[in-house]
Every structure is written in structure tokens, then in C-alpha cells.
Structure 1
Amino acid sequence: MKIKAVYINKPGEIETRWVEYPEKKENEVLIKVDSAGICGSDIGAFRGTNPLVTYPRIIGHEVVGVVIKEGKGMPDNIKEGDRVIVDPYIYCGHCYPCSVGRTNCCENLKVIGVHIDGAMQEVVAHPAHLIHKIPDSVKSEMAPLAEPLTIALHALHRANLKEGEHIAIIGAGAIGLMAALSALRYNAIPVLIDIVEERLQYARTLGIPHVINPAKTQVVDDIRAITKGTMAQVVVEASGANSAIRQALDLASFAGRISFTGWPKQETSLPTNLITFKELDLRGSRTSAGEFGEALQMLATLKINPADIVSKVVNIDEVPDAVRELDQYPERYLKINAVFH
């Protein structure tokens, strides 16, 4: 039996093709996929700029579907017929990071759609313990958003954001915007920074109180004015731009915390004297670890309204064209999801 899958043969070559129906192992569930989100890492795989991707590759790691066959190790609250979202980060459980609960930075981490085939296919086998039940109030076509929301939340958690603090967020893509909206829900004060003016103005309509366009103004001066001289107690770098990584140190207050969740293409030189002088805490923020429950509840209660983030919904056959469009015009959409049935 054959099923449809979105397949990248090599950089620049993407198609929907027929592949073999997956066989599941004892500790895996079989999921009939309802919907999937197109992520920046999928675009990186298409461009050939993601060094972790090998080819050919079925893409997709933001995936929602229905359990059609149970597996050993499945969470007790999930049964056949339930809607679930997959946790796409397959960890070994034996290395040091895994032993201290930081499975997201497992030394042997395998990310579906990157290191191994992904879930942008009509049926997928996935480790039974890495699935989460979706609340009834969250529509399947919107539910994949929970995965990138976990990344935004993890960045805030890594920086230990507190109520009343100013948080500067560099990058107003889907993750940056959701980090800003989540900061509002935490009763912090977000400042969103991006060079795409349309994204900033849209963020204002969603209630983000402060936005800054570096192409139009001096970011450091604006942050100083907004914070009455203190600067931002927390900075989240969500763009991956080398210049933004460097500037994060200037935006942070003395004793500030910086969370780096953007993935830079090249190494960035940082002034260690400034890090020491301001006694800054610099923390990497990779994927997520334990945030799915919070993310799903935020979507279910509309603390984060998925309709505010998902710009477009396509079907599986339209995914290749959607990937090409995002490659050429990334500023057009915050998020594109695909429905499979």
C-alpha cells in the first residue's frame, strides 16, 4: 500500500510522491496525519542551508493526527482514535543531558524531518511516548502551531522571565511573535524588534505594546527610553542574524539574561569584557523540553489564538509550491499549515 509524502530529493527539488506505508515497531504508534506546519527548518532543508539535513528526506516535524494503532509506552491518557501532536525530538535517554532532564539537547538527538524522515506524510510511525493529546477545542488544522509555541516558551523559560520585566525580542516571525504574546500572558512587557514593518504593525494589532524597526531608528536608544534607562532584563534572540546576536548584549540590562533561540549560519564574535562587566547570563535555547502541555493549554484557552499566527492553509499537494513561495518571499506569511484529508 502506498501513501503520499512531501519529499525533498536534494536542495531545490521538492515534490509530493507516493511512498511505502510505514511499518511500526512495538514501541511506536501509527498516526493518520491530519495536518502539518511548514517550519523554517523545512525551508532550510529545501535551500540546502541546514547542515544537519541529509537527502533524500521526507520533511515535517509539526504534525497532528489520529492514533490508528497503539504502541508500548504510550501515555495513559491517550488511546486509539485520539488526536495527538508528536514531539519530534527523539532523544536517547542515556547521555548526560538526558540524565538531568534536558532531553532537548541530547548528545544523540534525532529530529524527524531533519536527521531522519519526517511526518509530512499521510500515515507516520512515531515513538509512542513522544505524543501529546490535543484538547477538543483546538482545531486540527491549527494544532501544529503548538510545536513552534513550545520553542517560544522554552526561550522564555531559559531566561527565567518574571512578571513586570522588560523583554526585548529580536525577530518578529512566528516564534518571535509568539514569544512576545506569551510574555504578555506572563505579565511582562515585550518589545518586538524587526526590519519588516508589516510584521511590527500586525504585532501592534495583537496588543504588543512596543515595536522597533532598526531600519528606522536606533534600537539601543529606544530600549533605553522604554525602560527608563535600565535596558531589558531579558533579551530573546529569535532571528539568527549575527548582527542581532551581537546587539543582544547592548540591549540587555546589567545582570540581564539573554536567551539565544535563533540559529546563526556563522560564528559570531562577542565582547567578553562586556559580558563580564554587565555580568550577563547567556543561555542557548534549543527546541523545547516539557513545554507541550503549556503550549496546548494556551491554544485551547486562546491565550495564544492560533488564527492570529497561521496565515494560510493548503493541502498536501500544494505543500511543494508553498515551500517554494516561502523560500522566495518569507515575509509574506507568518505560518503556513497543510491539511491532509
Structure 2
Amino acid sequence: MKAIKLDEPWKVACIEAEKPVPGPGEALIRIITAGICGSDIGAFRGTNGLVSYPRVIGHELAGIVESIPEDNPKGIKVGDKVIIDPYLYCGHCYPCSIGRTNCCTDLHVLGVHVDGGMAEYFCHPADMLVKMPENMDWVLAAMAEPLTISLHGVHRGGLKAGEYVAIYGAGPIGLLAGMVAEAYGAHAIVIDLVQERLDFAKSVGIEYVINSGKEDVVAEVAKITDGNMAQLVMECTGANVCIRNSLDLVSNAGRITFTGWPKTETSLPTDLFTKKEIDIRGARTSAGEFEEAIDLICSGKVDVKRILTKLVSMDEAADTIIDIEKNPGNYMKVVVQVGEA
């Protein structure tokens, strides 16, 4: 079978690999579509410290069940269309015991800690498959996983209708978070340095955008919110300056969720935590959000196809990854057509 593999940083190729054989409790999935994530680009660059090599990448996956244990807990059958939940958890540590499986002390993410599924066939625990609606578009199915990341940040922040959410970063996760906010009846304010991305954000229905390179972000958020500032700030870039500035944008009694992964520590004025009585929460991956993501996509409440840049073949995938790394401004979201439905 074909698979997209990183031998080491800066070396990516479409290779021939052995078709996998499912182990106990596993299903064999014929992969139809797979999304290329920013973390895959980080793995290619060698800047994602969690990735080990060599590594088959890919964790945004949808496919058709080829084989599955009959006693699987979700009643999934051979021939069913499924989306893969890519976060392997132990099930017995403290976070897992309270349902916070994304915080597992031994979490393994596909394409990062273990081989991913950007391959023609993939084996995965049968209880970590999510059944797709029959009429769901395969390209959209591969975009459900990044939507769960945005949803998790929104959920961690407790966003309610009528509130303002300031979102740092007009990349896929920030844009999807803004689209979710609008679907929830909240007001999204997306902040970025790149005007083209902000123009794109407006085109997909984001209510407010601010260019942090040209405008006074604090003053603009104050103006938009009638001086109250944002009840929720979502930091989706991992940039230290944005992490720091989140404290200035949040309202008194507001909340901040940190979804981006900073490379270095950020110095923060902790007196503001107390003065504003801010709730600050991490938001890592997702847990239990796939069903809502699928519903938002299939209902059209979040039109994820608006952020799709292009669909490429397996043979084009490696070169596309190289080009995304060189020209990130040309891409928002790319999906790989791995197989035919």
C-alpha cells in the first residue's frame, strides 16, 4: 500500500509499505481522505518536539471499515463509513477516569507518537471510530477532526450566545473557532498580522477582524465590546506575545483558553489574574467532540469547506507538504484523496 512517511525532518515521501493486520480489538480501515495539519508541517520541519522518526503522518482521517470485531461497543459493521478519533489514551489514569481522556498521562497521538493513517489502509481500536452519516462528503469528513480542536477550546471557555470572543490567529483552528462562535450566537473577533487572512475570515462570516500589525488591538476590542472587553479570549497561535496580550483583551471575570503550543515560556503579569479574576484554561486536542463536529458540518451551521484550499492525490501529497512549508500563506486547509469510495 501507499503511505506518506517522514524518514527524518525535511525528508517526506510517498512510499510502499506492508498492508497492516489488525490486532485484538482493532478494525481495519480503508482510508478515503486524510487532512494535512499544521502539526504535520511541524513534523516535517523537525520543530514539533513530540514527534519521533521515522513516522507515517496523518491524524485527520475518514474511511470505510474492512474488518472489525463483531462485539465492538458502537455496533459498527463492515462497510460502514467512519471518522477516526486519533487520540489514544490509557483509560486508567486519573484524567481518563474522569472522562478527560485528552489529558491522559500517556496520550499517544497518531502521526506524532505512533504511526498515523495517511496510508491506504490503517488499523485502529474499534471503540475509537465515529460513524459517519451516509450522505456526508468525504472531504468534509476529513475536516471534522480540526473542528473538534476548535470546539474543545470553545467548550473549555464556556462560550455563550451573546458573548464576545477574541481569537488570536486566523489559521484553520482560529477560523473554525470563529465559525463555531458565530453558530453559537456569539460575536467573534479574529486577530492576525496578515491582512489577506483577515479578509478571508470576513468572507467566511467572521463578524469582526483586527490587524494586530496596524491597529491598537486593545482599543479596537474595547470599541467593539462597548468597553467591556471579551468575555472569552482564545489563543490559537502559540506566539508568546499573543499569549501575553490575551490578558489585556479579556474582560473582568472573563476566561482565556490556550490552544496554541508555544515553543518557549511566556512571562505573565499574574497580578492581572487576581485583579480581573480571570479563569485561564488549557485546551489540548479534543474529547468527545466528534459527534457535535459532524452535526455542525452536516447541518451547514459550520461550512468547513470554505477553508479548503485544495484536494490532492497521494502522489501529490509529499510535494504539497514541501510547498506548504515554503509558502504557508498560500494554503489554509489541504485534504489528500487517499482512496476511492
TM-score by length of 2: 0.98
Counting aligned pairs with the same residue, the percent is: 51
Match of 1:101 among 99, 107, 119: 99
Question: Structure 2: which 5+ runs fail to align?
Answer: none
State the alpha-carbon separation in 1 of the partners of residues 71 and 245 from structure 2: 45
Aligned to 1:122: 120
User: Which has the higher mean CA deviation after the structures are superposed, 135-144 or 85-94?
Assistant: 135-144
Aligned to 2:261: 263
Match of 1:27 among 22, 25, 28: 25
How big is each residue's C-alpha offset from its partner over 1:14-51, in whole Å with a ceiling of 9 and x where there is no partner?
Answer: 00101111011120000000010000110011000011
Confirm or deny: 8 A CA contact 1:62 1:145 kept in the other structure: yes
Q: Return the letter of the residue paired with 1:16.
A: C
Change in Cα spacing, 1:72 to 1:47, as seen in structure 2 (3 Å) is: farther
Question: Structure 1: which 5+ runs fail to align?
Answer: none
How far 1:305 moved relative to its partner? Answer: 1.5
State the alpha-carbon separation in 2 of the partners of residues 249 and 71 from structure 1: 49
Is 1:322 the equivalent of 2:320? yes
Is 1:192 the equivalent of 2:190? yes
TM-score by length of 1: 0.98
Aligned to 1:175: 173
Is 1:6 the equivalent of 2:7? no
Is 1:49 the equivalent of 2:33? no
Aligned to 1:313: 311
Is 1:283 the equivalent of 2:281? yes
Confirm or deny: 8 A CA contact 1:7 1:56 kept in the other structure: yes
State the alpha-carbon separation in 1 of the partners of residues 317 and 165 from structure 2: 35
How big is each residue's C-alpha offset from its partner over 1:211-230, in whole Å with a ceiling of 9 and x where there is no partner?
Answer: 00011100000000000110
How far 1:208 moved relative to its partner? Answer: 1.2
Change in Cα spacing, 1:73 to 1:152, as seen in structure 2 (3 Å) is: farther
Confirm or deny: 8 A CA contact 1:57 1:116 kept in the other structure: yes
Match of 1:252 among 238, 242, 250: 250
Confirm or deny: 8 A CA contact 2:70 2:77 kept in the other structure: no
Confirm or deny: 8 A CA contact 2:167 2:233 kept in the other structure: yes
How far 1:241 moved relative to its partner? Answer: 0.6
User: Which has the higher mean CA deviation after the structures are superposed, 133-142 or 254-263?
Assistant: 133-142
Is 1:85 the equivalent of 2:83? yes
Aligned to 2:205: 207
How far 1:72 moved relative to its partner? Answer: 6.0
How far 1:136 moved relative to its partner? Answer: 2.4
Confirm or deny: 8 A CA contact 1:142 1:337 kept in the other structure: no
State the alpha-carbon separation in 1 of the partners of residues 217 and 278 from structure 2: 19
Match of 2:240 among 236, 239, 242: 242
How far 1:71 moved relative to its partner? Answer: 2.6
Show the 5 A alignment for 1:213-232: 213-232=211-230
Q: Return the letter of the residue paired with 1:229.
A: G
How far 1:153 moved relative to its partner? Answer: 0.3
How far 1:75 moved relative to its partner? Answer: 4.1
Q: Is the partner of 1:286 in helix, strand or coil?
A: coil
Confirm or deny: 8 A CA contact 2:176 2:304 kept in the other structure: no
State the alpha-carbon separation in 1 of the partners of residues 246 and 58 from structure 2: 31
